[in-house]
Every structure is written in C-alpha cells, then in structure tokens.
C-alpha cells in the first residue's frame, strides 16, 4: 500500500446503499459464508530483499528508490524484510494464525532478468520452494504477476508500459508462470493497482518510473501528465485480457484456476447533496474505478471519460474490446479509506496542472469544514471509515452485476516511532478495531445485502518497506525490529485474528 492522492467520488443516495456503521464485537468465522478465505498480503519488492542474488535483474523500483529524495526516509528495499531467505519462518507465522491463504507477487526480473529472453532457473526454483512451503502448511498461494516492479531493462529498451511491446513481453512472462507454477497455483492476479502506478508513476511522478510534466517537473525525468497515464492504463487492460485469454485457452482445462485483477478503490461520499456535487462524485468514480472496470464489463471506458478526455483517451479496436470484456473471473479490491467528493467549480487546479488528475472535474478531501471524515491512521491519506466497505461492495453489486469479489488488501498503519518501546508497539488496539469494524461491514454486505465477496486479505503480514514512505509506516500484524536482525514479534492483532479464525 502507498500514499494516495484522492480525486474520486460516488453517490450513496442514488443507489440506496445503507451507510450505517456496522460494528461486530462478536465477529467469528461463522460471520462469513462457508469457504470464505482469510489471508494476508505482500509484494515481492516490499518483502523479499536479496535484490542482487540468484540472477535477479534490476527493476524500476530499484532505480527509483536509489534516486535521491524519492523515498521519505532515504531508504531502499535492498534487504526489505528479507523474506527471500526467511519465507519458511513467515509461512509458519501464517499457519500459527490459522490463515487460509497468502497473497504474494512474483518478481518478473527474477524469472527474466532482462524482462525477456532466457528464463532464470534460480528464480523458478525459489518460487517453487515458496509455493511448496505454503501448500505444505495448507495455505493457498494467491499470486500477483505484476506488483509494480517492472524489469529496468524494459524501461530502458522502450519505456516500459508506454509501448505496446510490453503486452507481448508481459504475456510471455505470465505464460511462463502458468507453465511452471500453475499445477499448484489456482488463483492468479494479473496486476496490482494499475490506477495507482499509472497516476503516481506517470502523472505526478511520485513513484517509479517517476515521469510527469506538471509543477513537479523539476523532479521528473520527462513525461506528459496529460496523456501518459491513459496510455499506460490502456496497455495494462489489453495485457491483462491477453494473459487471461491465454490461460483460458491453454491452461484452465487442466489447471482449473481463475484469473483476476486488483484495483485500489477509495469510497467517496458527496460533500453536499447539491446536484453539482452529486454529478461530480459519479464522474470522479468513473475516473478511478470505472476507468478499468467499465472496459472489463462493458467493453469501453466510461462515457464521462470519453467526453472529458477526448482524443487523449485511447480507443479500443473491436477485437480489443471483445477480448477485454469479460476477461476476469473475479475482481480484487484493495480498499482502505473513504473521502468526500465535490465539484471543482473553478478548475484552476486543472489549468495549473494540465494532468489526468484534473480531468474528472472533482476534488476529493478527507474533511468537511474542520471535521475529518474519520479517525486517521499514521499515513496522511488513510482515514478510518468502516462503512465505506459495505457501501463499495453494494456499488459493485449494483453497477457490475454482482461479480465475485476478493478483498485483496485492507489494513491500517501505525508510525514507526523510535521512542515507542517494542512492548508498547505490539499493543495495536486501533488496528484490531479497524479490522473488526471493516470486517463487520463486509459481513453485513455479504449476508444482508447479498454481495458476492469470497475472501479477505490483510495488508499486511509483516511491517515492511512502504514504497515512497520507506520504513516510516508499519502496516503489519507482526512487528519487525529493523534494529535487531529483522526479528518478528506478534502484535496483539495476531492473537485477535487467531481467536476469530478459530471460532466456529
């Protein structure tokens, strides 16, 4: 998870969605349907470390993190939390909690150090060991193919996601994963948060590869904030559909797996009940979630995007639209927080920035007047609004025909405060309440509203390296002591989950 800049919204009243907060002090496994999956989540670059071992090639995040001033605490993930060497220990931690599954990502550059070419057997061997260790403990691997760590060689060769060649190279990498891991991996996620890396990487330049053309231009190495995010997203959608098609045609009959994609989705409530704010919040949701979901379910981008972006928004050919529509078995949702949304009356921001963030004509904020929308976690963007979970699930049910949903990330962070003792840092009552209340609203969405939600993954198993926030933010159920050989300590939330998962 990472810092976000909110720009989106949606209207609850129109849908008749219940917005009351559900709290569930008696939460248990039986609060969810039989077969509902509980797990924890991670990503290769944030967890593995070992960036120069066993033939791994450099990625755009290696380059970005080693560039001065890109990470708030000047850290990098060369070691991260060393899961490359400690995965067996971490698998045991999951088993001790009673978790059913683990969401991990494969590092493309471990399999193909240059993005293409000859496969690196050492990379294959490593992930075989990880997958086998999970299965040996009864933990299902949910594998993300792309969690932002593009091989640097492809960025150097043709600017990565800005060139259509990336579709072919990603498909080759993905099919390699299906071939060598698909006999055991049954849940595939093609991309993690394409909206985030399109905006943060190619609009505002705050994440790899750090491209932009707005006021932050002095800190960016070229780019066009008004066009590049749309090009990147377009290629991602076609790449996803291409890979899903390969799996369905060549592997599904024998491997019996499913393919989905994970989106970052903030929930938004209108700042006021004015028609202007209501219209703006719907447009804004189109520019966040609809940007990707509408092509996958309806075959094209939202009409509001077509109208407002014009020729800067790429067009799908008839064959591409047909390939993309319906090209997923489940929708992954990374949901953390809720903001207010209102219309941008003057569009001064848009005139100044000339970027995709301004195209929706909406402004999103976590406060109304002097009142915040909820209690804040450590991250400046993360406000705790549990009822947003239920509202979002109902929105997906209503607009997209109740597709299967998996919550692929949900969680909150504490600060990495050196003045707090480890003993006190393990007392994470705020995190326990966060998960209790968000899960309570998720349970209500399933049981009372009929939303088809099939799993929930906590971000995150361990405290870890949080992209541009570095080590300043602690999302983990387990505390990692960065000053003592990365030793893991269970926070109180571990015992809470263990008890909840063991209850009938």
Positions marked active-site: 193, 409
Decide if 283 contacts 362 (C-beta within 8 A).
yes
Cα–Cα distance, 41 to 105 (Å, whole number): 9
- 3-class SS at 486? coil
Give the position of tokens 């593995």: 48
CA angle at 340 for the pair 337 and 345, rounded to the nearest 5°: 145
Alpha carbon separation from 238 to 226, 227, 235, 325 (Å, rounded): 20, 17, 5, 10
State CA 164 to chain mean position distance.
23
For β-strands 362-365 and 338-343, DSSP reports them as: antiparallel
State residue 415 phi and psi, 5-degree precision. Answer: -75, 150
Helix H or strand E segment including 250: helix 228-250
Helix, strand or coil for residue 76? coil
Could you give the CA distance from residue 143 to residue 180 in angstroms, rounded to a whole number? 13
Q: How far is CA 100 from the centre of its chain?
A: 20
CA distance 450 to 180: 37
- d(Cα 285, Cα 376) in Å, to the nearest integer? 22
d(CA 14, CA 91): 45
Are 143 and 181 a contacting pair, CB within 8 Å? Answer: yes
Beta strand segments in 215-370, E:
258-264, 267-270, 330-334, 338-343, 362-365, 367-368
- How many other CB atoms sit within 10 Å of the CB of residue 156? 14
150 in Cβ contact with 112 (< 8 Å): no
Residue 371 backbone dihedrals phi, psi, to 5 degrees = -105, 125
The first and second tokens of residue 291, run together, are 């940007």
């Amino acid at each position: 998870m990472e810092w976000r800049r909110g720009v989106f919204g949606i209207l609850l009243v129109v849908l008749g969605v219940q917005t009351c907060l559900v709290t569930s002090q008696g939460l248990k496994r039986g609060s969810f349907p039989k077969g509902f999956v509980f797990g924890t989540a991670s990503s290769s670059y944030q967890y593995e470390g070992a960036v120069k071992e066993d033939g791994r090639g450099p990625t755009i995040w290696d380059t970005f993190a080693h560039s001065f001033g890109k990470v708030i605490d000047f850290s990098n993930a060369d070691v991260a939390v060393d899961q490359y060497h400690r995965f067996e220990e971490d698998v045991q931690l999951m088993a001790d909690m009673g978790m059913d599954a683990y969401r991990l990502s494969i590092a493309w550059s471990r399999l193909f150090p240059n993005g293409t070419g000859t496969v690196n057997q050492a990379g294959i061997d490593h992930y075989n060991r990880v997958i086998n260790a999970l299965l040996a403990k009864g933990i299902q691997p949910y594998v993300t193919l792309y969690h932002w760590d593009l091989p640097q060689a492809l960025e150097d060769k043709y600017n990565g996601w800005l060139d259509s060649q990336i579709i072919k190279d990603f498909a080759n990498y993905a099919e390699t994963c299906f071939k060598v891991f698909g006999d055991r991996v049954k849940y595939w996620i093609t991309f993690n948060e394409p909206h985030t890396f399109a905006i943060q990487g190619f609009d505002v330049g705050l994440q790899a590869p750090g491209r932009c053309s707005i006021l932050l231009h002095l800190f960016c190495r070229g780019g066009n904030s008004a066009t590049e995010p749309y090009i990147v997203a377009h290629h991602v959608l076609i790449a996803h559909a291409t890979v899903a098609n390969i799996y369905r045609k060549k592997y599904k009959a024998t491997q019996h797996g499913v393919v989905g994609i994970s989106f970052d989705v903030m929930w938004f409530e209108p700042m006021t009940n004015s028609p202007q704010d209501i219209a703006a919040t719907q447009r804004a949701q189109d520019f966040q979630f609809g940007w990707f979901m509408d092509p996958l379910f309806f075959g094209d981008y939202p009409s509001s995007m077509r109208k407002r972006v014009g020729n800067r928004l790429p067009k799908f050919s008839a064959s591409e639209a047909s390939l993309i529509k319906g090209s997923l078995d489940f929708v992954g949702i990374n949901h953390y927080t809720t903001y207010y949304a209102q219309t941008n009356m003057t569009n001064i921001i848009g005139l100044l920035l000339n970027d995709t963030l301004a195209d929706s004509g909406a402004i999103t904020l976590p406060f109304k007047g002097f009142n915040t929308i909820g209690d804040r976690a450590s991250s400046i963007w993360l406000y705790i609004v549990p009822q947003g979970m239920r509202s979002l699930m109902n929105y997906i049910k209503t607009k997209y025909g109740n597709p299967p949903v998996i919550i692929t990330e949900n969680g909150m962070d504490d600060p990495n405060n050196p003045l707090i003792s480890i003993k006190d840092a393990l007392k994470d009552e705020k995190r326990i309440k966060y998960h209790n209340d968000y899960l309570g609203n998720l349970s209500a969405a399933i049981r009372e509203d009929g939303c088809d939600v099939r799993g929930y993954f906590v971000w995150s198993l361990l405290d870890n390296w949080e992209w541009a926030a570095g080590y300043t933010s602690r999302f983990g159920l387990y505390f990692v002591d960065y000053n003592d050989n990365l030793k893991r300590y269970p926070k109180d939330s571990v015992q809470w989950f263990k008890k909840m998962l063991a209850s009938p």
